[in-house]
Chains A and B, each alone.
Chain A
Amino acid sequence: MLTFTLKRLLALVGTMLGVAILTFFISNIAPGDPARLVAGQNATEDMVETIRVEYGLDKPLLTQLSIYLGNLAQGDLGKSIVSTRDVTQELASRIPATLELVFCAMGLGIIFGVTLGVLSAVWRDSWFDQAVRIFSISGVAIPAFWLGILMQLYFSVHMGWLPVSGRFPLVMAPPESVTGFYLIDSLLEGSLTKFWTSLSYIILPAIVLSLPCLASILRVNRSEMIEVLQSDHIVAARAHGLSQWRVICYYALKNALIPTLAIIGLRFGWMLGSTVLVETVFDWPGLGLYAVSSALSSDFKPVIGVTLVITFFFVLINMIVDLAYAWVDPRLRSAK
């Protein structure tokens, strides 16, 4: 298990290095002179030349790459052109917001996905199963940004139950930062009002973000449950007179959860990508919104930074899922 873990860690470092190189090439595919782009249209030839030297753009591409990787290793992602702030600092202040949203959405997706999956497997081909099927097919096809707008229209504007957008009201002081997650920080502070306030802000974006993930967890879990419920050990458990729900929840679900684990890892990355849309709709001050606003103002360094951070979390979660897999199923440890 230890060597397996070490191998996976090494692979993680390798992937991150690869992605860093990939982002470097992406930032260099832009047609035209990057120095002129930075300097702006009205810059004189001298100014462009100064910027070229200042940004190291006069050096050969490979030298530029090694400088970029060296800076990256020290956690230096450069400065944003628009705000002139350090990209690393900006990212650090935004990571908790995105993670809080993604974890909440993932929680919703797992809880409801697994429950609905089990129920529709147990009541296979009933009206419930059909309804869940329609729901899961629609869940993948629905545009997240559009669903977000509709939810805002109904729950916030029409019914007035929940705030339209943002993470916390401007007039209120956010909870003192310990973990950076407002839900946890407000509890640590012992302020229930702040907890309910931040919950009311996070609930809509979390639901919107969780839906596609919920749908695919549901589908995988349903088909696995159907398969497991037909296997011998379930028949044996039933024959021994164990109660229906004990068989389902304890003996069957345990086996069906293993393949579900794999889809959770995959969907996590999908979800991190969708934050770009959901955060834009709900004005959620996280990584996705940062990437979008920077991309719209042709500010490329923050976009690279967000890409790297999001990829890191995706690869990390997949590593954890792999380890969990190997822990549950020892045959996999030697296979890789």
Chain B
Amino acid sequence: MSQQDTSLERPGFRERHASQIRMWRLYIHTLRKSFTSMLGLVIVAFFLFLAAFGPQIAPYPEDAAGAIHMSQRLMPPSAEHWFGTDEMGADILSRIIVGARISLWIGLLITGIAALIGVPLGIIAGYRGGWTRAVIMRLTDLFLSVPGLVLALAIVASLGPGITNCVIALALVWWPGYVRLVEAKTLSVKEELFVESARSIGAKTPWILWHHILPNCLSPVIVKISLDIGMAILAAASLGFIGLGARPPSPEWGAMISVARSYMPDWWWYSFFPGMAIFLTVLGFNLLGDGLRDIFDPRSRDR
């Protein structure tokens, strides 16, 4: 008897999540309809694959670690070395493939840290209001009033060059954007009826923040993260190019171009292919981010 009851009351997974499944199907449909978003997805998936299996698929994986073959210095693209070789005789294709992991990892770290700092601050600022909000927002505005790359440069100059400091600096530059976004969203969500009813039945503030405010802020944050990863990779490569980020034996793309510059006119392939890799990665994340924004925020479409 009791067993029958539960089977009646507990429908299957599909029934229980019917509305979510419909929603996700709509998302997938919107994404697949847009050619540019699919292109972005393919490019991002391709580079994620390189990042995951880079050392296994690179033709000369030992070259990425700084192996030296003096007999093969600066060879043009050929059947053995598709993208040519650099001044140490290392295969540029292998270095680019292995470098994908560094670049994607940097991009994820920067945006991840920035979101971890920015989202809680934004929620607190939006929910608490008063002087807490005033202090947080003033600080945010202050960071936003310095052009990002210049601020990052100043921070790296103070901390000293290197890839870790480069990530720290760019994360410090990136968090204010998340505060702005989440604060605005929290301000509108906290006026909603479901927040008021949660409070009226005695829910504590942390519980409301975690179960009602945060989930509602999540989709714009995800969109922003996907758009920002590309720009963060670009910024990190820029610092690498200047000579303040990753250091040359490491196969970071920006640092590769930085070295390649001195071999420029005659050995064009040395700077061409790493730059192409940066360009495609950033392009992929931007296209994907645009597609995600179309899905989660239909009003912004066509912008």
Chain A interface residues (CB < 8 Å from chain B): 15, 18-19, 22-23, 26-31, 137-138, 140-146, 149-150, 152-153, 157, 219-220, 223, 226, 269-270, 272-274, 276-277, 280-281, 291-292, 294-296, 298, 300, 303-304, 306-307, 310-311, 314-315
B237 interfacial contact with A, CB 8 Å: yes
Taken together as a complex, chains A and B put the C-alpha atoms of A246 and B234 apart, in Å, by: 41
A137, B36: Cβ atoms closer than 8 Å: yes
The DSSP consensus for interface residues of chain B is helix
Q: B242 near A143 (CB under 8 angstroms)?
A: no
Q: In the complex, are the beta carbons of B238 and A272 less than 8 A apart?
A: no
Q: How far is the CA of A188 from the CA of B268 in the complex (A)?
A: 41
A138, B234: Cα distance in complex, Å: 13
Q: Quick check: is B211 within 8 A (CB to CB) of the other chain?
A: no
A243 to B231, CA, bound (A): 43
Kindly state the separation between the CA atoms of A137 and B148 in the bound complex, as whole angstroms.
Answer: 21
- A22 — which chain B residues lie within 8 A by C-beta? 142-143, 146
Residues of chain B having any CB pair with chain A under 8 Å: 36, 138, 141-143, 145-151, 153-161, 230, 234, 237-238, 241-244, 254, 257, 261, 264-265, 268, 271-272, 275, 278-279, 282-283, 286-287, 290, 302-303
Across-interface contacts of B153 in A (CB, < 8 A): 276, 291-292, 295, 303, 307
A-B contact pairs, 27 of them (CB 8 A): A22-B142, A29-B155, A30-B159, A31-B159, A137-B36, A137-B287, A141-B282, A141-B283, A143-B257, A143-B275, A143-B282, A146-B278, A149-B275, A150-B272, A152-B264, A153-B264, A157-B264, A272-B147, A276-B153, A276-B242, A292-B242, A295-B244, A296-B161, A300-B157, A303-B157, A311-B150, A314-B145
Q: How far is the CA of A219 from the CA of B272 in the complex (A)?
A: 28
A26 near B155: Cβ-Cβ < 8 Å: yes
Q: Could you tell me the distance in whole angstroms from the C-beta of B226 to the nearest C-beta in chain A?
A: 13
Residues of B within 8 A of A291 (CB): 150, 153
Is there contact, CB below 8 Å, between A145 and B238? yes
Closest to B172 in A: A26
Q: Kindly provide the distance from the CB of A259 to the nearest chain B CB, expressed in whole angstroms.
A: 10
